[in-house]
Structure 1
Amino acid sequence: MPDHRSYQDPFYGWTTPKAISLCVQTLKECSALPFEVIQKMIALSEAQILNDQTSTSMLDILWKIAKKYSISVDQVMLIFNGFVHVLRLALKPPAAFLKPDIFKDDLRDLKFSEQIIGEFYNILFGAKRDQLYLAIQERDRPRLPSLQTFDWNLDVTLTTASLSRCIEPLLLFQFRTSDNRNLTFEVSIKKFNELRYKTALLLKEMEEVDGKQALKLLET
């Protein structure tokens, strides 16, 4: 059976992220840390993505762990940040692209213990998988300014004693965006009709692409 590396990249990429390598290294340094505590930190990393706990309460829990087991707060934070990083990277692709066995192999390559691998597996292939995925997509999506107000006006200049014909009517558009920018532009009726046509054509092409069977297969 061929190595999955021959046809699929590791979920974390071809270079191990620094946050993850530091996490693994710190886990070795804190080998006396009970697994129940590590399990709690993995659960906290899940809560971090879902925003189920405030930053203050989460930091308080991590500080108490450091104090109770006589390790530095920096070490606790390195472990916790590594766990969060693993979840975020694993949740970026759609569920269809993250295969359970391949995911476990990737974590073994990163030198995580089998117990930790099992915890990540339960999170990423458990009941909250879709909720976690949506949380990551919402956090990472581009955030462009939204439209606050939109006004338009038709500017018509009739013939006067100094003009031999009517001037072509112009459409004046005024936008106000959520970042407090005011945008104004004007177009002729002809150009506006071209814009309407191209917009309708683009929407039609988007519907056709959305209906492609190949895309539906990727979503399943």
Structure 2
Amino acid sequence: MNQLLEIRKKVVEKGIEMLATNLTVGTWGNISCRVPDQDYVAITPSGMSYDTLVPDDIVVLDLRGNIVNGTRKPSIEVPLHLAIYIAREDVHAIVHTHSAYATAMAVSRKDIPGAVEDLVQIVGGNVRVNEYALPGTEQLGINTVKALQGRNAVLLANHGMLGVGRDLEEALRVCLIVEKSAQITLFAQLMGGVVELSQNDIDGMRNFYLGGYGQRK
């Protein structure tokens, strides 16, 4: 039970960070995290302000979408989150944002090219746009899993963006870097265009991030 409380606290903390870093406004977007050693997911509730959430507001579901702990109505995007967790065992956290520059790319249905080093390191390459589907639908989950293949981020057409990671810290970091890269892409296009990195360079930097970046014990 203490483990579950800690997971819920971390989800609340990331919601506050998401709001503070202008990755969303109001109550939009959502955050979830796997519960270690259990087929459960902790997810933010529907329509509640991030800066007022407490751990008990975070809803715990099984992978079929059944509520196993909590009294709040979960996010409308439960089908989207569960589709990703079922398809990607490497994903342990999801952050879905409505940040301005990434959403501009999503509205124009343009991929964010693999041109910025920190982007390709943490995402694995370019950030694709999924095929449009209405929010809250199973089809949105299907389309997103397809566009997310081999990547840690995806643009949701006419909607926003979504980042995944090995933990909540990484998932939020993905969203921040994608937003910065979307802004850089738009500026670069004003100056004549984007020069993408080669696939060999992308693969090399991705492998470095996974195996050599940061402090290792």
Q: TM-score, normalised by structure 2?
A: 0.22
Q: Mark the structure with the bigger radius of gyration.
A: 1
Structure with larger RCO (C-alpha < 8 A, sep 6+)? 2
Q: TM-score, normalised by structure 1?
A: 0.21
